[in-house]
Amino acid sequence: MPNAPTFDPDGDPVQDLLNLLDLERIEVNLFRGVSPDDGMKRVFGGQVIAQALVAAYRTVEGRLCHSLHAYFIRPGDPSVPILYEVDRSRDGKSFATRRVVAIQHGEQIFNCSASFQIPETGFTHQSTMPEVKSPDDLLSEDELRAMAKDKVPKELAKQFTRPRPIELKPVDPRAMVSPKPSAPIKHLWMRARGRVGDDQTLHQCLLAYASDMGILDTATKPHGVNWFTGGVQMASLDHAMWFHEPVNMEEWLLYSMDSPSASGARGFNRGEVYTRDGRLIASVAQEGLIRPREPKPSA
């Protein structure tokens, strides 16, 4: 069994993530992935999305992903490998479709469908990028976490301060502990912490990984809770992405998110990803569980 990679504080976190996405092929349409040894109790949803997209790409030639639609079925166990089984649903002249099922302990934990297209030209239009502060004028999430680390429970300290392969700069950061209610809108700059290379498929997979960062939290903002407060149970339920333009994760990208609805213990969230010069390169939609629960008493 492959050893689980560790995100080394003194190493290259981007290379660690790229190694994580380099799945082992164990049959023609069957791949194996592992999770990092980073103290997490369950597998990060963005990791499963990205690894599933890698598995699908290993069965596709000459096409780029333009959309994927996924469901999270069970929590992933980071202590054991994940098997990714790819069904080659269709190979057409312009489009190819793949279905990927992720399996642990003999059960599905995740499945997704992805569509791939030969590059074409056609009509173009897009929405306008929001006017927000430049990433050059903002504190990084690492700096914000360092300022808040003494308020975090000791059992979460390692997870809270561990190095991450994606650098984040929130435009309007809210308190990480005991946040106040605010509008369900969020803007977040993000980029890879190092060199990714020229392979567009890897840039898409890294964006898929990053697209699960913070989007569900948007639906909790009006209610003054987050996963640190203990007043809410949170889990991603489904996730969809559309890739509109080429992705460069080495450059700053603006992730603009909103949550138009919360009901039935679920929060619905939307996201748009822009380059610094205003090109809309991807769109995201996600629904997640945001079930109210009694906060844990303070120690």
Amino acid at 176: M
The verdict on whether 236 is a catalytic residue reads yes
Q: Are 56 and 86 in contact (CB under 8 A)?
A: yes
Q: What is the pLDDT of residues 235-263, one digit of tens each?
A: 999 999 999 999 999 999 999 999 999 99
The verdict on whether 286 is a catalytic residue reads yes
Q: How far is CA 221 from the centre of its chain?
A: 19
**What's the whole-number mean pLDDT along residues 154-173?**
79
Is 96 among the domain residues? yes
CA–CA dist 100, 88 (Å, integer) = 9
CA–CA dist 180, 216 (Å, integer) = 17
How sure is the predictor about 155, in pLDDT bands with cuts at 50, 70 and 90?
low
Name the phi and psi angles at 214, rounded to 5.
Answer: 85, -5
Domain count, the chain: 1
**Burial 266-289, CB ≥16 within 10 A → b, else e:** ebbbbbbbbbeeeebbbbbebbbb
- Residue 1: pLDDT over 50: no
Q: What is the pLDDT of residues 19-39, one digit of tens each?
A: 999 999 999 999 999 999 877
By percentage, how much of the chain surpasses pLDDT 70?
89
Report the CATH number at residue 187. Answer: 2.40.160.210
Q: What is the dihedral of CA 258, 217, 174, 229, to 10 degrees?
A: 150
Q: What is the DSSP string of 188-208?
A: EEEEESS---S-HHHHHHHHH
Amino acid at 206: L
Is 225 among the domain residues? yes
175 DSSP 8-state letter: P
The verdict on whether 127 is a catalytic residue reads no
Is 25 among the domain residues? yes
First to last CA, the chain: 40
Q: Specify the pLDDT at position 222.
A: 94
Tell me which of 212, 256, 258, 283 is the catalytic residue. 212
Tell me which of 211, 256, 259, 286 is the catalytic residue. 286
Which is it for strands 30-33 and 24-27: parallel, antiparallel or unpaired? antiparallel
Q: Specify the pLDDT at position 160.
A: 65
Where do we find the tokens 């690894």?
A: 51
* Kind and range of the H or E run holding 229: none
CA–CA dist 242, 87 (Å, integer) = 20
Tell me the residue range of the domain where 252 lies: 13-119+138-292
CA–CA dist 272, 241 (Å, integer) = 10
Tell me which of 236, 256, 259, 283 is the catalytic residue. 236
Q: Which residue has the higher pLDDT, 142 or 166?
A: 166
- Residue 161: pLDDT over 90: no
Is 130 among the domain residues? no
